[in-house]
Amino acid sequence: MPTYTNNYIPVNKYTRPGLKLNGVKKLVVHYTANPGAGADNHRRYFSNAQVYASAHIFVDKTEAICIIPLNEVAYHANDIQQRDSAGNPYRGVAALKPNANFLSIGVEMCLEKDGSFHSDTVERTEDVFVELCNKFGLDPIIDIVRHYDITHKNCPAPWVSNGQKFADFKNRVKAKMSGKSVSKASPTKPTTPSPSSSSAASGSLKSKVNGLRFYSKPSWEDKDVVGTVNKGIGFPTIVEKVKVGSAYQYKVKNSKGATYYITASDKYVDVTGSVKTSSPSPKTTSTSSSSSSIKSVGKIKIVGVSSAAIVMDKPDRNSSKNIGTVKLGSTILISGSVKGKNNSKGYWEVIYRGKRGYISGQFGSKI
């Protein structure tokens, strides 16, 4: 049985150029960096997004959708993140030179609202890679690569910060191909002072899932992730519940007294005992941060896109990195507008998760 369904987006110059691949040398794993948006959200978005970006298959916890035929090019792995002293872009996978987009298939893993991978998403992605490895005669251990391996983009971030998880993933794909039954996401040791599995104290917490991320400070950002806990493991002490952006986290301590932050969603954690909630920080929109030091001059509403507008790191839609998305109809604080490059409508300078970002002028309406 196929592990994904085909639902192709129309050929267009931005997301499905209709060019033929020159072969399939490697399979590239990505993450969407777009918490809470599933596979079909991304299919709809890329069906008319005016960004030179896409991937072949999107996987979430309930389905996998192939949006670009597997013999065509998707723009997923030829970005420039770093250059060497001669000015050449970093290219870490020799077999994919000169342009990985013509020699590989891109698979995107969708994120839960708290920025984690659901265990079903990981398992479904394993199954998709089993099918692709069989179809193209590839070996999962050497032929599945991260976007990071090719260009040094921090993608998929949870498997860049924890390479062991990526190695475990490939091993599970290999085991499935050889017909062995596979135990789920084998436990990965947290990378920082070990949380305790004790549940004795009142106000303690246990993870309901494998690979649940915890953070060094109240944040949902990848850069603040310090480790993960597996199902049944947790923290012996919950200090308080705090509002972070539009959702809550628990401030917790491990058995050695070190402080971390972890989602307070009861979908992911079980809590024993009572927990005090700190007074919520001033209300902000879900896409702006109250801790931002950038001064806002107003707000825009996202318009004119099918599902979400892309936030770029600089005002140039041809060469920028995507740092996130803002959903159609939602609002975001702006710190100004700039002419930028390659867009006659210019760009809104927005405050995205406390940082400066840019949205194409036509996708924002001042309110």
Chain residues that interact with Zn ion, rule: CB under 5 A: 30, 147, 155
Residue reference for tokens 């002293």: 85
* CA–CA–CA angle 136, 139, 144 (5° rounding): 90
Residue 196 has, within 13 A of its CA and on its CB side, a CA count of 17
**Integer Cα distance of 254 and 131 in angstroms:** 41
CB of 254 to Zn ion, least distance (A): 32
Residue 198 has, within 13 A of its CA and on its CB side, a CA count of 13
Residue reference for tokens 């004795």: 200
- 274 burial type by CB count under 10 A (0-12 exposed, 13-18 middle, 19+ buried): exposed
Please identify, using beta-carbon distances, which residue of 73 and 155 lies nearer to Zn ion.
155
CB 9 within 8 A of CB 69: no
Please identify, using beta-carbon distances, which residue of 59 and 155 lies nearer to Zn ion.
155
CB of 147 to Zn ion, least distance (A): 3
Using alpha carbons, select from 93, 109, 110 the residue that is nearest to residue 35: 110
CB of 166 to Zn ion, least distance (A): 13
Please identify, using beta-carbon distances, which residue of 155 and 275 lies nearer to Zn ion.
155
CB of 19 to Zn ion, least distance (A): 19
**Integer Cα distance of 26 and 145 in angstroms:** 7
Please identify, using beta-carbon distances, which residue of 101 and 219 lies nearer to Zn ion.
101
Please identify, using beta-carbon distances, which residue of 53 and 305 lies nearer to Zn ion.
53
CB of 30 to Zn ion, least distance (A): 3
CB of 251 to Zn ion, least distance (A): 31
Q: Give counts: helices (H), strands (E), the chain.
A: 6, 21
Please identify, using beta-carbon distances, which residue of 30 and 327 lies nearer to Zn ion.
30
Report the residue count for the chain: 367
